Amino acid sequence: MARLLVVDDSRETCDLLELLLGEGLGMEVEVVKATRPEEALKHLQAGGIDLMLSDINLEAGMDGIDLLRAARPLEVETILLTGFGTLEKALEAVREGAFDFISKPWNNEELKSLVKRALLMKANKGGGAEAGKAASLNQSVMIGSSPKMMEVYRTIASLQNSRTTVLIIGESGTGKELVAQNIHLSSDRKSAPFVAINCGALTESLLESELFGHVKGAFTGAVADKKGLFEEANGGTIFLDEIGETSLGFQVRLLRVLQEQEVRKVGGNRTVKVDVRVIAASNKDLAQMVKAGKFREDLYYRLCVVEIRVPPVRERYSRDAAGKVTSDIPALLDHFLAECGRKDGTVYRIRSDARRQLEAYSWPGNVREMGNIVEHLTQLSRGREITPDDFPEKVREELRTRGAGMPAAPAPLLELIRDWDRLPTLEELERRYIQVLLKHEQKKSRIADILGKDRTTLYRKLKDLGLGDGADERE
């Protein structure tokens, strides 16, 4: 029988995990619980523990990372839980030898699968995971702890000791270059150059000259030899943004550089060896471009050794078992607000109604748009509290169209439909729909008209769903 140690400062969470994992894994598991790190240490030192599942933030003198360090010499696998996911914690967890980490609130099936996989690996290998040795990031510029962002952190952390090529896919403004920078800074190349270039901003000839360099007289205006960016980035990382905008002809030359690790300057006949890690990014689906004959298949597979998909802002949310949605938007808003405050030497605040509306906005331009809009708001507020009157017209227009303060529900619903195990019941959907109506319409006779029900039926439905007795002082 496998023994699982659950560590969380909340007794209710420990009880929930015992209920979830004690009999839900399809294998015999004994769950041991601890609400204090000192208690967890005693269980570890007593022996017989196969896997520890611990919260990182234990609000005590020790945290989950400290317990992880204590568990490693005892060959106890560790999975860390966190409600405050950051890239630094991901890197530290992997470096210290964690089997994996998962964000709160967790998905029950995902957690069970992860725990089962860790227990089976322990049973088969009889030992703990080896720790990585790369240095952690000095400062993370990535904000958010939603499951999709945690997956990005997890992938970056797993690349700490790797020099492989990486392809980053994501919509414009999602922060693909930040991901590339963090991959570089968490690697053993962090002290070498990180060189970025937007491939879509230059013509083919200029792009070749910038990347590979040129010799004197190679073309009109080439008055001297020029070193290319691949040579400038030697020993470090080069980031090729918007790689999908390049021509097929250029892609042939780039493929040769990747395969041979050498460059030939435009107009030159001598090759120069380079040691460069390549990270590419695109806001287009390169796999579809390959099928359409617009991107070379051989280059695609050479670039896409590891793929990271950066989620748009509208998908950066989590949903707990009760259906409550938590998104990364508040943390992102606070980050940009503090950034503007540091730059201007001013403390900026967003009024509560304005914050609700900003959280409801769809952010089609993603994180880049959010940074620009927050800067716009701080400049218009002139140090006073930010209100909806300060919003740019495009934000006001969308909120007017959808209804001010209404949640941006379509994207989460589509995400749920793609994951059938999480699809809510019709009763739960009806409850949520009526809750939204109750929030924005006080007269229940009007709600009854919207639902196509008479008032008596509506009152009965409200009582059945636990939403009140139907009384309406304004009828």
Residue 133 confidence (pLDDT): 31
Could you count the other beta carbons within 10 Å of the beta carbon of residue 107? 19
CA distance 33 to 318: 26
Question: What is the CATH code for 2-125?
Answer: 3.40.50.2300
Decide if 274 contacts 221 (C-beta within 8 A). Answer: no
φ, ψ for residue 103, nearest 5 deg: -90, 155
CA distances from 349 to 327, 352, 354, 355, 435 (A): 20, 9, 10, 9, 29
Strands (E), 28-165: 29-34, 51-55, 77-82, 100-103
Q: What is the pLDDT along the chain (475 residues), one digit of tens a residue?
A: 889 999 998 888 898 888 888 877 777 889 999 999 999 999 999 989 999 999 988 877 788 888 998 988 888 989 988 766 667 777 777 777 888 888 777 878 778 888 888 887 777 654 333 333 333 333 446 888 888 998 898 899 888 878 899 999 999 999 999 999 999 988 889 889 999 999 998 888 889 889 998 888 777 677 688 888 999 999 999 999 999 999 999 999 999 999 999 999 888 888 899 999 999 999 999 999 999 999 999 999 999 999 999 999 999 988 766 777 888 999 899 989 988 888 887 888 899 999 999 999 999 999 999 999 999 999 888 667 899 989 999 999 988 887 644 444 444 444 444 444 555 667 777 777 787 777 766 677 777 777 777 777 888 888 777 777 655 544 4
pTM over 0.95: no
Architecture of domain 162-309: 3-Layer(aba) Sandwich (3.40)
Residue 326 confidence (pLDDT): 84
Residue 436 confidence (pLDDT): 74
Strands (E), 156-225: 166-169, 194-198, 213-214
CA distance 372 to 458: 45
407 Cβ contact partners less than 8 Å away, ≥ 6 residues apart? 325, 360, 436
Give the largest Cα separation in the chain, rounded: 87
Q: Three-state DSSP class for 282?
A: strand
CA atoms within 13 A on the CB side of 357: 23
Residue 165 confidence (pLDDT): 95
Composition of the chain by helix, strand, coil, percent to 5? 50, 15, 35
Architecture of domain 314-402: Orthogonal Bundle (1.10)
